[in-house]
Structure 1
C-alpha cells in the first residue's frame, strides 16, 4: 500500500483540492493518506477529516520536520510519498511514481511554474531560475518526493531543518533519482516581488543551516554544493536574449542576500544556490 504524508500548516483553502485529486479514482484501500496539521489557526484539520479514509494528526506547534516525522510514524506502507498540501497530484501520478520506484530508490514528477498575473520582476526572476539545470535532476522544487522502502531506510528522522526537500535530495545520487514523465506539479510563484524576496530569504536561511549542520557532522548526507555561476554559464550565455531578465535576477538575489545577512540568518553572497526550492 502506498503511503502519502502531507504536512500542512494553515492550508484549509487548498488541502481539500489536494486530497480530492488523490482520492478521485483510488481503489478502496489503495492509498494510506496522513495529513499532519501543524500549528494551524484555520480549519485545515477539519477539512482534511471530511475526506473518507484520511488519517488526520493535529499538532499544536508549527514545525514541518516534526510533522513529517509524525506522518512517518503513522504511515503503514511503502512506497512513501511526501506531498505538499498545495500540490494537486492525481492517483495515476502516484501509481506512476510507485512504478518508477521499482528500479530507483527515489522519484519525483515534472514541474510547471505558474507566473500568470505576476509582476514583471517576478516573471523575470523565474525566467532565469526556472531554467537552472539543477532543477532538472533534483528532487526539490516540486512539492512531491517519493521513496521506496529501501530509499527511506537511507535516513532516520527528519532533522530539525527547514530545507526538507534539499535533505531528501541529498540522500540519493543523480542516477538514483527517477523523474516520471507525463505528470507535473504546478508551483504557485509569489504574487508580489516583496513576497519573492522574503521567500528567498527563508530559503537561503534553510539551505545555509543545512550545510552548516552537515559541516558540523550533525547530518551525514552529502549536501549539494552551491553553484554560484550556473545562472550565467548555463542559462544566460546560451540564451543572450534573456539578458534583461538576468539583470532583474541579479538585483532580486542580491537584495535577498542583503536581507538575509541583515536578518542574521547566515545568508551568503548573492548567487548562492537558492534553487533547492522554487517558491
Structure 2
C-alpha cells in the first residue's frame, strides 16, 4: 500500500512512496555532467549534515559524462553506508540536465525531494531545516540562504551587486538548491524540456507556499565577463520560455521591482560592480539571438 497517492490535475505527477523503503525520508537528486573535480566536495558537504539518524537517499545521475564523475561519486559509498544512508549512482550515456532530473526522480523514494547542483556546497544544517519546513500535508517549496561565490575580480564585482538585488534579498530564489514535499511534487509530471528548471519549479508554487530557511549554501557563478553574459542570457531566455509556454505560472512570480533609488545607491557604493552588472545585463539582452546551447554556471 502506498503511503501517498494523489493527483490534483491531469498533468501532474503521481508520487508513490512505498512502505518497503522503511524510514526513507529525504532524497537528494544530484545531476552531474563532467563534474569529477567537484562531485567529491559536494558529497562530502552532504555527509557533514546535521541529520539525526538514517532516512537519507542521495542519487547522483552522471549524464553524458566523458570523465570519471561516476567513479568519483562511488568513492563516497562507504562513507554514506557508515552513516546509514544510501548513495546511488546512475550513469546515463545521454546528456541533458532535465533527463538526469527525471532519472533521479524515478529512483527517488523519499517524501522530501531536494534537487541539488553538483557545484553547490551545502551547510551542515540545510538538509534538516528543509525537511523540517516541508513536513506538511499541503504543497510546500523550500530553499536555503544562497551565498553567491566567485574567484575572479570581475565576477566578484558582479556578485557584490547581484547579492543585493531585491529578488535575491526578498524572495526565495532557489538557485542551485530547491526542495519540495510529496504534495508539492505532484504539481508537475516529468521535468519538461525547458532551459530553467529552477524557475519552472519555483513558479509551480505561490509565494505563500515558498519557504526560505536560514541555513546557507555556496553557489558559484560564472567566471569572467564573457561567461557571465552567456549565463545571464540563458537565464533570461529561460524566464522568457516559461512565460510563453507556461503562462499560467507567471502569476506566481513575486519578483519585486528594482527601484531607481536603490540602483543609484548601489552604483554610488559599488561603482565598478554596478558598471559590470549593468554591462552584463545590456550585452546579454543585445546578443540574445546568439545563444546556441547551455552555458555552465562557472
TM-score over 0.5 for the pair: yes
Which of 109, 113, 122 aligns to 2:144? It is 109
Report the 3-state secondary structure (helix = DSSP H, G, I; strand = E; otherwise coil) of the residue aligned with 1:73: helix
Query: How far is the alpha carbon of 1:9 from its aligned partner?
Result: 1.0
Instruction: Give the match for residue 200 of structure 1.
Output: 232
Closer/same/farther in 2, CA of residues 191 and 239 from structure 1, 3 Å limit = closer
2:255 and 2:161 map into 1 onto residues whose CA distance is 14
2:36 aligned residue: 12
1:248 alignment partner in structure 2 = 276
State the distance in 1 between where 2:255 and 2:141 align: 23
Identify which of 99, 107, 113 aligns with 1:80.
Answer: 113
- Any conservation in 1 of the 2:191–2:197 contact (CA below 8 Å)? yes
Residue 39 to residue 86, structure 1, CA distance change in 2 (3 Å):
same
* TM-score relative to the length of structure 1: 0.82
Q: Quick one: distance in 1 between partners of 2:39 and 2:288?
A: 31
- Aligned residue for 2:125, secondary structure, equals helix
Offset, 1:230: 1.6
Give the drift of 1:40: 0.9
Q: Which residue of 2 aligns with 1:21?
A: 45
Question: Does residue 71 of structure 2 align to residue 51 of structure 1?
Answer: no
Q: CA deviation at 1:238?
A: 7.2
Residues in 2 aligned to 1:28 and 1:235: alpha-carbon distance in whole angstroms: 47
What displacement does 1:2 show? 0.7
Indicate yes or no: 2:209 matched with 1:176: yes
TM value normalised by structure 2: 0.77
The question of 1:259 aligning with 2:287 is answered yes
Residues of 1 paired with 2:56 and 2:181: CA distance?
15
Compute the displacement of 1:65 (Å): 0.9
Which residue of structure 2 lines up, in the alignment, with residue 69 of structure 1? 102
- Which residue in 1 is equivalent to 2:18? none
Paired with 1:114 and 1:263, the residues of 2 have a C-alpha distance of 25
Counterpart in the other structure of 1:230: 258
> Structure 1 residues 224-233 or 33-42, which shifts more?
224-233
Q: Give the match for residue 127 of structure 2.
A: 94
* Distance change (3 Å), C-alpha of 1:165 and 1:234: farther
Of stretches 23-32 and 6-15 in structure 1, the one that deviates more from structure 2 is: 23-32
Q: In 2, distance between residues paired with 1:4 and 1:184?
A: 16
Task: Give 1:30 shift.
Answer: 2.3
1:2 and 2:32 correspond: no
RMSD across aligned positions (CA): 2.8
Report the alpha carbon displacement of residue 157 of structure 1 after superposing the two structures with TM: 1.2
Q: 24-33 or 172-181, which moves further after superposition?
A: 24-33
Aligned partners of 1:225 and 1:80: how far apart in 2?
Answer: 22
